Amino acid sequence: MTTPTIELKPTSSPLSDADREAILASPGFGRHFTDHMVIIKWTDGRGWHDGQLVPYGPLSMDPATNVLHYAQEIFEGLKAYRQPDGTVATFRPEMNAKRFQSSARRLGMPELPVETFIEACDLLVQQDEAWVPSHGGEESLYLRPFMIATEIGLGVRPANEYLFIVIASPAGAYFAGGVKPVSIWLSEDRVRAVPGGVGDAKTGGNYAASLLAQAEAAAKGCDQVAYLDAVEHKWVEELGGMNLYFVYGAASDQKPKIVTPTLTGSLLAGITRDSLLSVARDLGYESEEARVSIDQWRRDSENGTLTEVFACGTAAVITPVGTVKSKSTEWQQSEGKPGEVTLKLREALLDIQRGVSEDKHGWMHRLG
Ligand SMILES: *Cc1c(COP(=O)(O)O)cnc(C)c1O
């Protein structure tokens, strides 16, 4: 694999300090973008080339560009956090870089070298550092690296040209109004991913496939959809864009245990999910991966052994689950309130990311 250089061609007219500060006062999620983006091309026979940091702006595309028709696309999501000493650090970017490679392989796309992925993210954060919020709290600069097939033509095969792009967006709390439990619609018939499919690749198609169920959930008054496995419609997999955790024993005198569904191939291997397996142990909890059935979820919730459930992912960090509904049933998890273990894990992970507690796993990637 060739490692391209990235040429810096910054804008001469970035947004004014006052306008940027107005955005940073209430950034929302994914609504505003920084002054720059990084673009790297890939061409068959040449590999990665023409890396550039350029002003953020529209792409011009032929209407027959491959990705617009056949969705050969992958993406990532990671965050840069302001550290107490004023510098900036990203959280486990090499994990995103490696997952980007594995998504690329699954979608028949070229792999970007890990160091190029990280360098592209670093250069963008350094250039647009003023966009990294510095009021503490949960705010961050969300980075969205992605790759699209740019060959022109309607032939169906892996394209021979691609663009890798990184854009950045300041992010406040993902769910407005703080840590409020989300309600979950259990999708008993629509599935997100199938065995042998692309459920373990971070590709836009998985999201496209989830939107109708998401709209149906919203019509039932629910915030998010929980998907079951596609074969038995029995095993809990994940939400449309977040992994799930089940907390056992927080109400008894035993050690709490957190359990997350096993990576069966149709789940996305979340980096937050992976990190929490370790953070839980740091806090003296047990953590494990296991299959969890929908009957077990309901039964253990009702008999009180399953004390909390939460969802996790880069964008929202950790979000407690409150009400669970499906066509046939409905129950309240943790009386609809955020649980103690959920909140402790959330604080512990955020403290590492914000640099206020020791980074003993070496997860933070500090930018110079
Ligand atoms: C990105 C994503 C997640 C969460 O992964 P993180 O690395 O923790 O952000 C979970 N599920 C799906 C489907 C995703 O696309």
**Residue 367 within any structural domain of the chain:** no
Task: Look up the domain containing 115 and give its range.
Answer: 6-171
**Domain-located, residue 177:** no
CATH of the domain at 42: 3.30.470.10
pLDDT truncated to tens, each residue of the chain (368 aa)? 668 899 999 999 999 999 999 999 999 999 999 999 999 999 999 999 999 999 999 999 999 999 999 999 999 999 999 999 999 999 999 999 999 999 999 999 999 999 999 999 999 999 999 999 987 778 999 999 999 999 999 999 999 999 999 999 999 876 556 688 999 999 988 999 999 999 999 999 999 999 999 999 999 999 999 999 999 999 999 999 999 999 998 777 789 999 999 999 999 999 999 999 999 999 999 999 999 999 999 999 999 999 999 999 999 899 999 999 999 889 988 887 889 999 999 999 999 999 999 999 999 999 97
For a mutational test of ligand 1's pocket, the pick from 242, 275, 318, i.e. the residue with the most ligand atoms closer than 8 A to its C-beta, is 242
Q: What is the 3-state secondary structure (H, E, C) of 144-189?
A: EEEEEECCECCCCCCCCEEEEEEEEEEECCCCCCCCCCEEEEEECC
pLDDT of residue 77: 98
Helix (H, G, I), strand (E, B) or coil at 73: strand
Chain centroid to CA 345: 17
13 and 105 belong to one structural domain: yes
**Residue 269 Cα, ligand 1 centroid: separation in angstroms?**
7
Has residue 366 been placed in a domain?
Answer: no
CA distance 166 to 144: 6
- Shared-domain flag, residues 104 and 63: yes
pLDDT of 335 reads 81
149 has which bridge partners? 162
* Lining residues, ligand 1, CB within 6 Å: 77, 202, 206, 238, 241-243, 268, 270-273, 313-314
Measured CA to CA, the distance from residue 34 to residue 15 in angstroms comes to 8
**Domain tally for the chain?**
2
Same domain, 67 and 103: yes
- Helix, strand, coil in percent for the chain, rounding step 5: 25, 30, 45
Indicate whether 223 and 323 sit together in one domain: yes
Whether 354 and 83 have beta carbons less than 8 Å apart is answered as yes
- Name the residue with tokens 């969300």: 142
335 and 277 co-located in one domain: yes
**Position 364 in a domain:** no
Regarding whether 155 and 214 lie in a shared domain, the answer is no
CA distances from 163 to 113, 157, 160, 195, 356 (A): 14, 17, 11, 29, 37
Given 128, 150, 171, which residue is the final one in a domain?
A: 171
Take atom 12 of ligand 1 and give the residue whose Cα is closest: 241
Q: One-letter amino acid identity for 85?
A: D
Ligand 1 geometric centre to CA of 208 (Å): 15
Contacts by 125-129 with C-beta closer than 8 Å and gap 24+?
A: 125/80, 125/88, 125/90, 125/168, 125/367, 126/367, 126/368, 127/8, 127/10, 127/35, 127/36, 127/53, 128/34, 128/35, 128/36, 128/168, 129/88
**Cross-strand partners of 15:** none
Last residue of a domain, one of 145, 171, 197: 171
Tell me which H or E stretch contains 287.
strand 286-290
Q: What is the pTM of this model?
A: 0.96
Residue 195 gets which letter from DSSP?
Answer: T
How high is the pLDDT of residue 345? 97
AA letter at 339: G
Q: Do residues 225 and 348 share a domain?
A: yes
Is residue 155, in this structure, part of any structural domain at all? yes
Q: Is 307 helix (H, G, I), strand (E, B) or coil?
A: strand
Measured in angstroms, how far is the CA atom of residue 312 from the centroid of ligand 1? Answer: 8
